[in-house]
Structure 1
Amino acid sequence: MIVNSIVLFFSALLGGLYALRVSKTRESQVKSVLVFAGSFLFSITVVHILPELFETHKNQFHIGLFILAGFFFQQVLEYFTSGVEHGHMHVHKHGNEHSAWSGVSLMTALCIHAFLEGTILAHPGVIHDGHSQGTLLTGVVLHKIPAALALMTVLSCHYENRRTQLVLLLIFALASPLGVVAGHGIGPLGLFSEDGMVMLFAFVAGNFLHISTTIFIESSPEHHWNSKKLIISLLGAGLAVVSEMFY
């Protein structure tokens, strides 16, 4: 739990600090990382999380429903985040009141998403063992670094005060570790049964599917052939498959 929390915290923190240090961060600079991360996360979800979810629970129909619910819940969150969690930086400055509200809604939605990411890493015994948990952690970190970078680029449009930006970055960086801690506390407190935890993981798996597939779609908005994107995607998927095979 401690190691996962530390890794999640510093991956978001360092990604955000890099964006603050480099005043002009171009979306093209993070696109390749996003494609690799999206491919890795999608592959881990398909070859590991989904098979174990359907194998673990007797009622596979319920598993499918929660995956769909997680998928569309992520769509709702993106209404507030404008796609920051998969690298979007297209947010323009507004009036002070509107800008402040946009910043709050953005942070709230992103922290909910990050918190849910943390919960799926909390219980290795439910759907994944300790080794494959490391593979999943890698996928989340690869996604979180460019997301934090994009977040701070966007927040700089909402808040000019650097201290405010740093406080918001710390809040975002803490969201996933808090999810890990909360996930570990759910079992002892009896808030969720083991079946309930499986449904929660199915919900988060739906989040992962939405994010990773959206990265693929939006990395080629005009649907042109892009050999670089294909190679990076295959590398990400290949690494995920190989890591699963060895573990």
Structure 2
Amino acid sequence: MNWIFLLIVLLATLVGGLIPMVVKRVNPNFPIYMLAFTGACLFGITIMHLLPEVYHELGHQAGIYIVLGFFLQVALQTLSHGTEHGHTHVPTDKHQHVHLAPLLLGLSIHAFMEGIPLGFRFHDQAALSSLVIGVAAHKLPEAFTLITVMVHAHQRAPKLWRILILFSLVTPAAALLASELGAHSAFISSFTAYIVALVIGAFLHISTTIFYESGTKHHELSYRKVLAIAGGLVLAFLTLIFE
């Protein structure tokens, strides 16, 4: 396992969470365009790098698990309320209560799942480095939204730091676990391919939801958001130079 890759993902999560902690007033358009850019990048990398890998490993069965992963992410949203694709659901007054435990559980399960492909042994050498870019890009708005909800729920700074640090460790820990177990067991290594297919389905759900829903009114696509999406896709296409 490449420790630099894990460090990149860890730092991206920390940076995303730090923004709402240190910046008192964030421009409301910032998370919209950040989500659009990173969602498009994740979408492009999923299509260009991850899909070929799982179809190479699983054949036609890959499609079954991708669809299952798509709807698994739908189920996880009952816990996370769509935080992973930008839905904040912050309380409008101090008397409203935010159910933090289900939110953290849903996001942690999602974060663990997206770490597993980082420990997968890809045939295409460009796939892992490209995936790191996509996951790191996704962690920025994910952590940003999580901590934004926590700040609006009036959590104190020490607790915010504990939540952010622990959440930042979930994805690297999953990658290490998948890598170590896969290196010592052929069964687990082959089983990981099915998990990767599930994660692809989740990534497709998240990224496409970002395109048409997060931060927009009546599912509109402003020209600025289209430019952000285009920028994310360009970054995804640039990962092809790793091949």
Give the TM-score normalised by the residue count of structure 1.
0.88
The aligned residue for residue 234 of structure 2 is 238
Aligned residues: 240
Gaps spanning 5+ residues in structure 1: where? Answer: none
Is 1:182 paired with 2:147? no
Contact 2:122 2:128 in 1 (8 A): no
Map 1:155-170 → 2, pairs under 5 A: 155-170=150-165
The aligned residue for residue 202 of structure 2 is 207
Is 1:141 paired with 2:136? yes
Contact 2:9 2:172 in 1 (8 A): yes
Is 1:116 paired with 2:125? no
Give the TM-score normalised by the residue count of structure 2.
0.90
Residues 193 and 36 (structure 1 numbering): CA distance in 2 closer, same or farther, change over 3 Å? same
The aligned residue for residue 193 of structure 2 is 198
Question: Following the alignment from structure 1 to structure 2, what is the Cα–Cα distance between the partners of residues 22 and 155?
Answer: 14
Is 1:153 paired with 2:148? yes
Question: Following the alignment from structure 1 to structure 2, what is the Cα–Cα distance between the partners of residues 191 and 175?
Answer: 24
Residues 22 and 67 (structure 1 numbering): CA distance in 2 closer, same or farther, change over 3 Å? same
Contact 2:12 2:140 in 1 (8 A): yes
Gaps spanning 5+ residues in structure 2: where? Answer: none
Residues 148 and 225 (structure 1 numbering): CA distance in 2 closer, same or farther, change over 3 Å? closer
Q: Which moved more, 1:31-40 or 1:190-199?
A: 190-199
Question: Following the alignment from structure 2 to structure 1, what is the Cα–Cα distance between the partners of residues 82 and 44?
Answer: 21
Question: Following the alignment from structure 1 to structure 2, what is the Cα–Cα distance between the partners of residues 207 and 128?
Answer: 21
Question: Following the alignment from structure 2 to structure 1, what is the Cα–Cα distance between the partners of residues 11 and 48?
Answer: 27
Shift of 1:95: 6.1
Runs of 4+ in 1 over 4 A off after TM superposition: 93-96
Residues 18 and 45 (structure 1 numbering): CA distance in 2 closer, same or farther, change over 3 Å? same
RMSD of equivalent CA atoms = 2.1
Q: Which amino acid aligns with 1:117?
A: E
Contact 1:73 1:207 in 2 (8 A): yes
The aligned residue for residue 38 of structure 1 is 39
Map 1:38-117 → 2, pairs under 5 A: 38-58=39-59, 60=60, 62-92=61-91, 99=98, 102-117=99-114
Indicate the percent of aligned positions where both proteins have the same amino acid.
32
Shift of 1:245: 4.6
The aligned residue for residue 168 of structure 2 is 173
